């Protein structure tokens, strides 16, 4: 079989014979590297990614896929507003986002099966349905692992609280784990690991580093779980940040003009998006911005109109405008994603429940044409009626845009082959042109 004819399904058929059948793992990877997809990925642009992660389940009917003619028991109380693109309307509480609709594409036909928060988030952020005993690496960790670091800054950064299990590198190792930057909306915001401890100078740091190296040499003979390597990775990351003027500058959000900070909004999501722009400017490849939760089983309309949507609308529109004005949008892929949508039916608590059947994702920048809608749902938003987009298809698209082969197979610590994402799915061609 010619190498050019070696496709993913053939690769997986071969791989199902034994661990990798009659091929060694190295031979299988060599054939995989010769695939047309790998060649295409190698020609991709050098992009950064800002993921605005709306955990909890953003309601598609109140945002990107409003249904003003839905049956009364499904129709919400919000109206719709036109955007700056003829024929595209969105929810009335996104007025700022409506003004930059020519810069983004709405995918209204995302579809999945899992309606449980934890596993659905894991699926959306890794491309794998969770399995007992096996955690898969997050998209940001794949990016950190596959693409070379641009400088000493962490390639993968999270704003907000601690990383969830599905936001980490798992078997890829600690070097691909996210750097947690905290909440940049806090008063006197400071990032850990950017300053030496009180009373410690660089001479003492070098002494401690020498002692650590000596201790490592001795204890490594007893380290069967690679704990030392993990600790050294965190130590070296901290040391790089402390000694880096670039890192201090990138995380110094207080250096931004007051008017710019107000434009993004004084919220966790708003300042997170502003920090993300600063980090992209400084060479960080992947930033996940996390704000308030979107799990609205009660009072969905009050909560969205008073809190979530004003915060999101200001942050997202400011980010898109700011990147465009600085000439950075073409090389920055902005993604607004959530693990699933909300039910068409309004429950007895004036809320909407979990609904993976049909939901929306928005993408801007990264060379993607804006001012478009991909896919369609029915009148009441129960199901996708046109151009369904599965989670794996969407993630495959992101990987191709970044120049990462989504067909790549990784060995776990026990030698189990794991694909970058589940198959069989292809990228969304409408986003690759």
- As a whole number of angstroms, the distance between CA 74 and CA 61 comes to 9
Show Cβ contacts of residue 186 under 8 Å, excluding neighbours closer than 6 positions: none
In the chain, what are the domain boundaries?
A: 46-186+253-402
55 vs 27, more confident: 55
- As a whole number of angstroms, the distance between CA 417 and CA 334 comes to 31
The yes-or-no verdict on residue 39 having pLDDT over 50 is yes
The yes-or-no verdict on residue 24 having pLDDT over 60 is no
CA angle 319, 244, 163 (to 5 degrees): 55
End-to-end Cα spacing for the chain: 31
Q: What is the pLDDT of residue 414?
A: 85
Q: What is the pLDDT of residue 19?
A: 35
Report, in this order, helix, strand and coil percent for the chain, each rounded to 5. 40, 15, 45
Token readout for 128 is 């794998």
Q: Which of 232, 240, 250 is nearest to 175 (CA)?
A: 232
Residue 109 host element (H or E):
strand 104-111
User: What percent of the chain clears pLDDT 70, i.e. is strictly above it?
Assistant: 78
Counting Cα atoms < 13 Å in the Cβ hemisphere of 363 gives 24
pLDDT digits (tens, 9 = 90+) for 310-339: 999 999 999 999 999 999 999 999 999 999
Q: What is the DSSP letter of 391?
A: H
pLDDT digits (tens, 9 = 90+) for 243-273: 688 898 999 999 999 999 999 999 999 999 9
CA angle 9, 389, 44 (to 5 degrees): 65
Residue count (the chain): 433
- Per mean pLDDT, which range of 201-205, 276-280, 350-354 is the poorest? 201-205
CATH number of 46-186+253-402: 3.40.720
- Binned at pLDDT 50, 70 and 90, residue 433 comes out as confident
Q: What is the pTM of this model?
A: 0.84
Token readout for 181 is 């930057």
Q: What is the pLDDT of residue 148?
A: 96
CA distances from 89 to 96, 106, 323 (A): 13, 11, 23
pLDDT digits (tens, 9 = 90+) for 215-244: 556 555 555 555 545 555 555 665 667 668
Q: What is the DSSP annotation of 43-101?
A: TS---EEEEEE-TT---GGGTTS--TTS-TTT--S--EEE-SSTT-EEETT-HHHHTTG
């Amino acid at each position: 079989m010619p190498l050019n004819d070696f496709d993913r399904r053939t690769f997986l058929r071969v791989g199902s014979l034994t661990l990798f059948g009659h091929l060694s793992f190295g031979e299988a990877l060599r054939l995989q590297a010769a695939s047309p997809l790998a060649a295409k990925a190698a020609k991709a642009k050098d992009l950064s990614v800002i993921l605005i992660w709306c955990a909890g389940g953003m309601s598609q009917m109140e945002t990107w896929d409003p249904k003003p003619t839905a049956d009364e028991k499904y129709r919400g109380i919000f109206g719709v507003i036109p955007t700056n693109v003829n024929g595209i309307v969105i929810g009335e509480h996104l007025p700022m986002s409506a003004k930059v609709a020519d810069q983004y594409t709405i995918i209204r036909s995302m579809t999945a099966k899992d309606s449980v928060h934890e596993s659905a988030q894991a699926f959306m952020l890794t491309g794998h349905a969770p399995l007992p005993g096996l955690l898969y690496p997050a998209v940001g960790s794949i990016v950190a692992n596959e693409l070379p670091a641009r400088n000493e800054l962490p390639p993968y950064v999270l704003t907000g609280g601690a990383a969830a299990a599905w936001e980490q590198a798992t078997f890829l190792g600690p070097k691909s784990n996210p750097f947690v930057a905290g909440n940049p909306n806090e008063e006197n915001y400071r990032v850990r690991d950017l300053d030496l401890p009180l009373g410690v100078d660089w001479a003492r740091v070098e002494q401690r580093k020498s002692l650590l190296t000596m201790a490592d040499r001795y204890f490594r003979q007893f380290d069967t779980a690679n704990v030392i390597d993990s600790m050294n990775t965190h130590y070296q990351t901290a040391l790089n940040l402390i000694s880096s003027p670039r890192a201090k500058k990138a995380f110094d959000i207080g250096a931004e003009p007051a008017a710019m900070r107000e434009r993004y909004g004084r919220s966790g999501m708003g300042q997170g998006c502003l920090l993300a722009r600063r980090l992209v400017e400084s060479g960080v490849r992947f930033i996940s911005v996390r704000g308030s939760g979107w799990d609205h089983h009660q009072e969905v309309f009050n909560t969205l109109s008073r809190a979530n949507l004003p915060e999101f609308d200001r942050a997202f529109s400011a980010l898109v405008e700011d990147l465009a004005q600085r000439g950075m949008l073409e090389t920055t892929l902005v993604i607004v994603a959530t693990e699933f949508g909300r039910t068409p039916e309004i429950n007895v608590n004036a809320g909407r429940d979990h609904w993976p059947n049909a939901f929306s994702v928005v993408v801007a920048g990264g060379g993607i044409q804006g001012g478009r809608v991909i896919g369609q749902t029915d009148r009441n938003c129960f199901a996708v009626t046109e151009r369904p987009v599965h989670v794996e298809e969407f993630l495959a698209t992101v990987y191709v845009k970044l120049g990462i082969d989504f067909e790549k197979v990784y060995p776990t610590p026990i030698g189990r082959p794991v694909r970058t994402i589940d198959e069989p799915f292809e990228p969304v061609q409408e986003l690759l042109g």
